[in-house]
Amino acid sequence: MAPSIRLSPAARSLFDEPLAIAVQGLGPRQQVTLRTSLRDETGELFQASARYQAGDDGELDLARCPALPGGSFAGLEPMGPLWALQPQKPFWRLVKRDVQSPFLLQLEVFEGHGERPGRLLARAQHERAFLRDGVRRVPVRAGRIRATLFLPPGEDIFPGIIDIHGLGGGLFEPRASLLANHGFATLALAYYQFEDLPQEPKELQLEYFEEAVNYMLQHPQVKGPGVGLLGFSKGSEVCLAMAAFLKNIMAVASLNAPVAATCIPFSYKDKIIPTVTLYEHKAKATNSKFLDYSDIIDDPFQAPGNQSRIPLEKAEARFLFMVGQDDRVVKSEYYATEVCKLLQAQGKENFQILSYPGTGHCIDPPFFPLYHIGSHPVFHKRAVLGGELGAYSKAQVHAWSQIQAFFKKYL
């Protein structure tokens, strides 16, 4: 029988779901190379390859067979062919703009372990989708709000989450769409550089975000009495400011957050939180010739930086701080630890910190490729963002399950 690739689910799976990969019909203990490829929406290619040896029965099941040294990863890593994908164009990030279409994953099995691929033995393709059947994508243009609401299948009411992305502007939908597959009504909220929103806001008015909270709570399919917030980087900082000043915020999951206003000040009614000072000259060169910006922000726990700190002690919400120990953009572990000490000193126990070794600034949903060197969100120069492939892949899976468990518990 000719070699063939067996996948489960066979034709299509969600991007954050595991995919079981096996090859059958090989010779006993035959040596092969498995290559996976995926093109993003701009046509850029991401690839990974791994070396394997089939079992005595000619079966190669990635759940039981470790990858041998010499490929993109080694060891027993059933999802390695997905999380080890790396761009052929240096410093390119895998981004999904249109969540209504899947990514197409190509899998190929080649003979042998040579530097150049041997004879092609088998190939398959598989769709990695962002929306499960029945999830609704609803563009929202209500009042000032510019957003997309993702609703799980059915007519029930669901816990509501507002998902806010980092610096860079625009409307970012992949994380919100994936969360909706897990039973959350999720609003992906833009706040600048999108349609008629400001291109370069002088301040972020929390009234805009309050409108989004009210929109969610008035929606017939959103379960009250409050909402959850999920933020990354600057978006996380926005979520913390919302929790400090706005009502009806029940739970905040924060990924690598600055705990002070950075780059754009916040305003609410007559209150302004000024931005903390950034000192670009404090960027450090690394062995890799890329800059490490982790030390450039004024300490928000010491004067004068503390005028910019978000007053989280005023918040009623529960907090889940997820931090990468190798974050080279924000000292997120230090910030989370210090802010929780302040909360504790006020007699509060409304927080938890999850700290991930080998994980940098970007903590995406599972199986997105590691983006560890890229453009700095403020200075737009090549920068070390941090993270290491194997550790990061495990952090993604763990953080994603914890985010869902946290919102299930507190919403």
Q: Where are the domains of the chain?
A: 4-129, 136-410
What pLDDT, on a 0 to 100 scale, did the predictor assign at position 252? 98
Catalytic residue annotation: 233, 327, 361
Other beta carbons within 10 angstroms of residue 378's beta carbon come to 17
pLDDT at 145 over 90: yes
pLDDT at 288 over 80: no
Strands 120-129 and 12-14: parallel
What pLDDT, on a 0 to 100 scale, did the predictor assign at position 105? 98
What pLDDT, on a 0 to 100 scale, did the predictor assign at position 289? 81
What pLDDT, on a 0 to 100 scale, did the predictor assign at position 57? 96
Cβ-proximal residues to 326 (8 Å cutoff; 6+ apart), any chain: 357, 358, 359, 360, 386, 387, 388
Domain 4-129 has CATH 2.40.50.140: no
Answer yes or no: are the C-beta atoms of 70 and 51 closer than 8 Å: yes
Average pLDDT value for residue range 117-142: 97
Tens digits of per-residue pLDDT, 213-262?
Answer: 999 999 999 999 999 999 999 999 999 999 999 999 999 999 999 999 99
Tens digits of per-residue pLDDT, 48-78?
Answer: 999 999 999 999 999 999 999 999 999 999 9
Identify the band that residue 1 occupies on the pLDDT scale cut at 50, 70 and 90: confident
Identify the band that residue 376 occupies on the pLDDT scale cut at 50, 70 and 90: confident
Identify the band that residue 375 occupies on the pLDDT scale cut at 50, 70 and 90: confident
Identify the band that residue 286 occupies on the pLDDT scale cut at 50, 70 and 90: confident
Superfamily of domain 136-410: Alpha/Beta hydrolase fold, catalytic domain (3.40.50.1820)
pTM of the model: 0.96
Tens digits of per-residue pLDDT, 328-350?
Answer: 999 999 999 999 999 999 999 99
Nearest to 106 by CA among 129, 78, 82, 72: 82
Give the single-character DSSP code of 28: T
Average pLDDT value for residue range 348-356: 97
